[in-house]
Structure 1
Amino acid sequence: MPSQPVDLSASADSPLEVLVVSDVSGRGSKLGGVPVVSGEITESLAALPNVNVTLLTVGSTEKHGDARIALIPKTEDWESVRLLDVARNGQPSDVPGLPSPEEWRPDLVFGHSRYSGPAAAAIKERWYPEAGLGHFVHMPVRRYAQIQGRPQEEQDKIARIEQEVLGRADLAVGVGRLLTGVAREMAAANPRQPAFHEMIPGAEIVGPPVAPVRGETTNILFTGRVNDAIKGYDHLLRVVAELRERGVDARLRVRGVADWAVEAESRRAAEAVGGAEFVDIRPYTADSAELEADLAESHLAVMPSVSEGYGLVAAEAASRGLPVLVNAESGFGEFISDTTRVPEAVGRSFVVPDLGMDERPGERAEVWARAINNVITDYPQMVDRAAQLRAVLGDYSRRDAAAGLVEAFRRVAVDPRGHTVQGPNGVLLRPDGSKVPALRDTRGMSLGAMDYPNGMAPGAGAGRRAEEGRSARSGRSSAPRLPGPDRSSRKGM
């Protein structure tokens, strides 16, 4: 059952309690972009001054900043299957260290994609019926299934999972404009519509920009799965081979291959590009020093995906000041093509005009080869434009994303079918670009993004606020934290 309107007349002194439900979370999961983005969202929410976050996940995970972590004991099932089983058939007491509903209740429950969205909805409805429900859309699931060659029946089945969750959610969060549109499309047939929020997952600006100096060789960096047609990796091998045939000394570094597949992929890639010395296949890593070295030793980062929900790897490279090239059908491509956010001469110079070419690989390879050659030919100017893009990304930090997300949820009370867009510095905008007016409490005072009360559902009185044991200085609980994470990596789907 959907939650009721938020009581804005309640005190703003208590922290907002958020429960994030995710089958796996964090870069250490080695399972791609969804757990990385979901982990960063969890950590960023937990860093806000008046928000307490609990992460409910399966088996083990890494530390997520100030978030407390509740671990469901793992079985032989996939993490998503185990999570859904506990959500539908278990109780909070089945999770070691998770307080009973009498001791603690969240104001908001978040789930991510089809892997944890159904579990989050079940937990909200069975364990915490007064909480609000938020759902993150991370992938254009029907489009991905189409690219992977799955039959129409399977495409429909996959999309229906999230469609049903969206019919129960109070807030649908699209990671970027493309995925917000996907969320709207999936929810369109539901009799009940949620509010929608377009979130820009932050790219942190840390330290000086990378300073690539180009010589005779151009080092190209690809980060991602090589065994998924979605990522366009085989197209990229064809592009590198074509560049080399034209006399361009292009070298490719590939980061993200499973340890056991590195040797075989090295042989395959070497054959495709014309020699082992022209391609460097490296295993997946969560080590920040290794990832930083990849960027520092490259002249250009590429994201040749056929379709990409957002494109965190490109955003991370751009945040370090490295020139990037991204596909047109991507959330990050749409973001940097938006002239209200990024100067046209800057953003669009990094987007390859390959829309609709996924079934024409030869033509697509030609377009990408031309784009890479243009970067090489005008490299000093592209480095300058990369610096300008990096400056723009400074207005879209992870903290900004978290603050805007909290404010978007607050607005559900007054506009339950609204649509907000994250602007610079976490400011909320309407889809037409106009600024969303600040919410005001019953005394006519503006409520800041960080000042939302605990107990967001009706009937959330003093007994729900659990103010006992909280630090007056920080608003954080002084009670013992939930069990800490196991650092070992997990296998996923």
Structure 2
Amino acid sequence: MPDDVFNWLSSSLDDQVTVDERLVTRVADDLGAVTAAEIGEIGDVLLSILEDHSGTPFPMRVGQWSVTTSTRNLRSALCSTLLVLGLQAAGATSPTIVLAAIAPFLLDIEKVGFRPESRDVVGEMRADITDAAERGALWAGLPEDLRHEMPYLRMIELSEQLQRAGALTKLPDAPNPAFRQRIHAAPSERVPSRRPPLALLVADEWLPSKGGISSLNRYLAFGLAETGLEVYCVVPSARAEEFADARRGGVELVTPAGIPGLEPGAALGMTRPLADHLIPDILIGHGRVTGPQAKALRDSFYPDAFLYHIVHMIPDYLEWSKTDRHIDAGTRAESRSDIEEKLGVAANCVAAVGPMLYEWFSSVLAPCESPPPLLRFDPGFDTVENKTRVPSPGRPWILMLGRLGDAKPKGLDIAAAAAGWAVHIANGAPRFDFVLRGSPEGQAEELHEAVRGWSQQTSLRVIVRNYTTEIDRLRNDMMRADLALMPSRTEAFGLVGLEAIVTGTPLLATDQSGLAMLLHQHLPSELYDQVVVPVTDDIEHDTASWGHAIAAAMRNRSASFATAAAVRDTMARACTWARSCTALIDVWNSARGDSC
């Protein structure tokens, strides 16, 4: 704090100071307050901040009142008071305590100043919040409780208010704007209170019984709700526990009105899913699964909505690993690629999940004269699950999880053969159970026999369990596992691998995945090489490389868990749901600004 402001404070930070009506009047006088309202405003802000810092409610300020604090606390509170008064004068409408909490993240609190002659609060911004990327990174880095109090949309609003008030000045020799705002001036014209923007996601289910798309949709909906959007998700049908699960994350599930003769899923895009007074600002569809329905809703009912098309798969890769279908793989791949491409071009923005899909759709849009913006959407690795993991007691579990009816695309034959090879070369490594979670209903015995055959090891203990959507059961499986396998021949991203990482479960993942590409961008080579294993589609080669990797992980399980913890911590810092969701919103916000 500059020497000429509040220089009557003791230089000894541990000295005790009595805060009473006389001190508030002195502070107000230093800040040029004249009217009783101005003096009262300064006192209310200062005491609210001091009370919040102390964690103890102050007595009611009636008659003779006083509270005692240290010089250090009072200096900090005075700096925060200056910033809050400046932000409020510029039009900020958040509660005082929220503004005081976020102010040190916006400005360097040690360099806050006050110019008595003009009654200006001045400071240095820590980031250029007029820039979407910097603003999103700042918000994503806030503590979780503060993100809840200051949703991302409120941060955008604050940035716009400061710009309208002329409080931000870009200097040629500084990376970030300077803050300057007169206090006790008439506040800038404020935007009337209105409901937050509304997002409508279109999904074929809420809890994921059909794989990664619905799992990502759920995480995305929760992440968007955290930013301050009003979030709805329309699904064909939902159970009571699904409505409850969505509400816990700030999301409202809706189901479409039925149409006689049509299954609920077929009616997704044919009827208006929301009450007439609820008009989506944002519509989100997922690939060819719900992209057509989202487009139909935009075209038929919500023409002003900003449509996102989220790309989850590459048909030209995936369909060629499903050669057991009745329709020729080439025909399927081309037909499904055409659908994906047409839906993307018709959207206002394409969001590709991870680097592999981003690369693919970049080439799809290359021939377009006026392509929609393409956003790379990296799923978050941050989670409340930060428990230190150690090897499970008893017989180890090696877990493979997913929709295992698609055995070849998921690399189940590779995993089984490699598990058998790991048993063969064990050399003292503990025997393990090979646990498969994801058998189609009624096919567990058939899958069990197929896996035993691929493994060529009669001593391999195989446990097959049906696919489930129960979140707690899936989490327990992952938390019980000593090693998770994702040996897919192709995996556009690989959410199963992400789930393993965020729970701290040791993982071996295919290099033929968007997840592997993302890990390569953020992990040091010594970690990456312990997690990612090549898949060549040469069964003998893959059996050997994966078998040796499994045996090594089983031989030193403590080291495997230490590696998993390092991977989780690194990726949780690099990729968060908050950062990804703010990037998504910024595309819409930029387009909205351009159209105004």
What is the TM-score when the length of structure 1 is the normalising length?
0.73
Q: Does 1:363 align with 2:541?
A: yes
Please state how far the C-alpha of 1:168 moved relative to its aligned partner: 1.1
Partner of 1:129: 303
Please state how far the C-alpha of 1:147 moved relative to its aligned partner: 1.5
- Determine the C-alpha separation between the residues in 1 that align with 2:285 and 2:389: 39
Partner of 1:337: 520
C-alpha change, 1:282 and 1:367, in structure 2 (3 Å) is same
Q: Does 1:166 align with 2:344?
A: yes
Partner of 1:284: 467
- Determine the C-alpha separation between the residues in 2 that align with 1:191 and 1:255: 46
Q: 1:375 aligns with which of 546, 553, 571?
A: 553
Instruction: Give the 5 Å matches for 1:293-442.
Output: 293-338=476-521, 341-354=522-535, 357-358=536-537, 360-395=538-573, 396-412=575-591
What one-letter code is carried by the residue in structure 1 that aligns with 2:449? R
C-alpha change, 1:77 and 1:279, in structure 2 (3 Å) is farther
- Determine the C-alpha separation between the residues in 2 that align with 1:327 and 1:353: 6
C-alpha change, 1:296 and 1:44, in structure 2 (3 Å) is same
Check conservation: 1:219, 1:252, Cα contact below 8 A: yes
Partner of 2:451: 269
- Determine the C-alpha separation between the residues in 2 that align with 1:231 and 1:175: 19
Partner of 1:193: 371
- Determine the C-alpha separation between the residues in 2 that align with 1:111 and 1:240: 38
Check conservation: 2:322, 2:329, Cα contact below 8 A: no
Corresponding pairs, count? 392
Partner of 2:181: none
The ranges of structure 1 where at least 4 consecutive aligned residues each deviate by more than 6 angstroms after the TM superposition are 7-10
Q: 1:108 aligns with which of 282, 297, 300?
A: 282
Partner of 1:221: 399
C-alpha change, 1:151 and 1:310, in structure 2 (3 Å) is closer
SS at match of 1:226: coil
Aligned-residue Cα RMSD (Å) equals 2.7
Partner of 2:150: none
Runs of at least 5 residues in structure 2 that lack an aligned partner in the other structure: 1-156, 165-189
C-alpha change, 1:163 and 1:388, in structure 2 (3 Å) is same
SS at match of 2:465: strand
Partner of 1:143: 317
C-alpha change, 1:392 and 1:414, in structure 2 (3 Å) is farther
What one-letter code is carried by the residue in structure 1 that aligns with 2:463? D
Partner of 1:424: none
Please state how far the C-alpha of 1:131 moved relative to its aligned partner: 1.6
Q: Does 1:83 align with 2:265?
A: no
What one-letter code is carried by the residue in structure 2 that aligns with 1:409? W
Partner of 2:84: none
Residues 265-274 or 162-171, more deviating: 265-274
Partner of 2:255: 71
Check conservation: 2:207, 2:469, Cα contact below 8 A: no
What one-letter code is carried by the residue in structure 1 that aligns with 2:515? F
Per-residue CA deviation, residues 6-56 of structure 1 (Å, 9 max, x unaligned), is x989959641211112232332xx1111111112211221232x2111212
Partner of 1:53: 231
What one-letter code is carried by the residue in structure 1 that aligns with 2:525? E
SS at match of 1:58: coil
- Determine the C-alpha separation between the residues in 2 that align with 1:74 and 1:36: 25
Residues 264-273 or 35-44, more deviating: 264-273
Please state how far the C-alpha of 1:214 moved relative to its aligned partner: 6.9
Check conservation: 1:23, 1:79, Cα contact below 8 A: no
Check conservation: 1:266, 1:280, Cα contact below 8 A: yes
Please state how far the C-alpha of 1:394 moved relative to its aligned partner: 2.5
- Determine the C-alpha separation between the residues in 2 that align with 1:189 and 1:351: 34
Check conservation: 1:55, 1:68, Cα contact below 8 A: yes
Q: Does 1:175 align with 2:356?
A: no
Please state how far the C-alpha of 1:77 moved relative to its aligned partner: 5.4
Check conservation: 1:80, 1:116, Cα contact below 8 A: no
- Determine the C-alpha separation between the residues in 2 that align with 1:384 and 1:256: 28
Per-residue CA deviation, residues 278-301 of structure 1 (Å, 9 max, x unaligned), is 111112223333223322322111
SS at match of 2:268: helix
C-alpha change, 1:41 and 1:276, in structure 2 (3 Å) is farther
Please state how far the C-alpha of 1:265 moved relative to its aligned partner: 2.2
Partner of 1:473: none
Check conservation: 2:423, 2:460, Cα contact below 8 A: no
Greater Rg, structure 1 or structure 2?
2
Partner of 2:421: 242
- Determine the C-alpha separation between the residues in 2 that align with 1:227 and 1:385: 31
Identify which of structures 1 and 2 has the higher relative contact order when contacts are C-alpha pairs closer than 8 Å and 6+ apart: 1
What one-letter code is carried by the residue in structure 2 that aligns with 1:333? A
SS at match of 1:211: coil
- Determine the C-alpha separation between the residues in 2 that align with 1:386 and 1:362: 27
Partner of 2:182: none
SS at match of 2:404: coil
C-alpha change, 1:215 and 1:19, in structure 2 (3 Å) is closer
Q: Does 1:37 align with 2:216?
A: yes
- Determine the C-alpha separation between the residues in 2 that align with 1:12 and 1:353: 57
- Determine the C-alpha separation between the residues in 1 that align with 2:223 and 2:204: 18
Partner of 1:435: none
Residues 208-217 or 397-406, more deviating: 208-217
- Determine the C-alpha separation between the residues in 1 that align with 2:192 and 2:485: 45
What is the TM-score when the length of structure 2 is the normalising length?
0.61
Check conservation: 1:219, 1:253, Cα contact below 8 A: yes
- Determine the C-alpha separation between the residues in 2 that align with 1:385 and 1:127: 50
- Determine the C-alpha separation between the residues in 1 that align with 2:530 and 2:193: 47
Identity %: 22
- Determine the C-alpha separation between the residues in 1 that align with 2:543 and 2:357: 26
**Larger helix percent:** 2
Partner of 2:73: none
SS at match of 1:260: coil
Partner of 2:380: 202
C-alpha change, 1:411 and 1:68, in structure 2 (3 Å) is same
